[in-house]
Chains A and B, each alone.
Chain A
Amino acid sequence: DAGITQSPRHKVTETGTPVTLRCHQTENHRYMYWYRQDPGHGLRLIHYSYGVKDTDKGEVSDGYSVSRSKTEDFLLTLESATSSQTSVYFCAIRKDRGSTDTQYFGPGTRLTVL
């Protein structure tokens, strides 16, 4: 258990509205990641963070922004949601101790954009 929570767990919203998903960790690890999971695509990296206020883009970052003002929280924002952003979103952390790239995932947020 890596102490990761995501909120909300489920959300239904309408096209054009802003949406913010929250990821919270209890162990103060530096690296945090946002992925989306879609059928036929596996998990794809949206954005990641390597410290407070330090973020970078992943492979599917268009239409998404992130912020990290505290070590424990990593926010993912859809500025103007579109139906193509209907997906399951997972947050992950990489533990600072140890030298591997193993990531540990939260329970996910299912987002539906109508």
Chain B
Amino acid sequence: DQQVKQNSPSLSVQEGRISILNCDYTNSMFDYFLWYKKYPAEGPTFLISISSIKDKNEDGRFTVFLNKSAKHLSLHIVPSQPGDSAVYFCAASGPGNTGKLIFGQGTTLQVKP
């Protein structure tokens, strides 16, 4: 039972254009959502997060949108750069203090020069 799903295994965009990565979840108790970026042979790197009390969070070129009614979040990267090419994971956590994260399967983004 996959509680967090990234249905697109890969995405290819042109440099300078917008990249949109999507994530769906099933557990309405999730209250905090994160995006991580991962390069080959490295650990995941925290990118941006959003609390369930918000519907948008922005950090430079990265914006995360949360639609609670649809149980859907998305990561927008504008403008996309070749260095953004990586695997992107969304993750979710629920109430309680354990901090346990549930991850999606990941989406491989390729930004072409």
Chain B proximity mask over A35-51: 1 for CB below 8 Å, otherwise 0: 10000111111001010
Q: A: which residues have CB within 8 A of B?
A: 4, 31, 33, 35, 40-45, 48, 50, 56, 58, 90, 92, 94, 100-108
Instruction: Establish whether residues A103 and B89, one from each chain, have CB atoms under 8 Å apart when the complex forms.
Output: no
Chain B interface size range: 20 to 34
A102 to B91, CA, bound (A): 10
A43 to B102, CA, bound (A): 8
Give the total number of A-B pairs whose CB atoms are below 8 A apart: 61
Using known A-B contacts A42-B89, A43-B103, A101-B32, determine if residue A108 contacts B98 with beta carbons closer than 8 Å. no
Main SS at interface, chain A: strand
Chain A proximity mask over B32-52: 1 for CB below 8 Å, otherwise 0: 101010000111111001010
Counting CB contacts under 8 A, is B101 at the interface? yes
Instruction: Establish whether residues A42 and B103, one from each chain, have CB atoms under 8 Å apart when the complex forms.
Output: yes
7 additional contacts, CB 8 Å, given A4-B43, A40-B105, A102-B34? A31-B99, A56-B98, A90-B43, A101-B34, A103-B46, A103-B99, A104-B46
Instruction: Establish whether residues A105 and B101, one from each chain, have CB atoms under 8 Å apart when the complex forms.
Output: no
Counting CB contacts under 8 A, is B71 at the interface? no
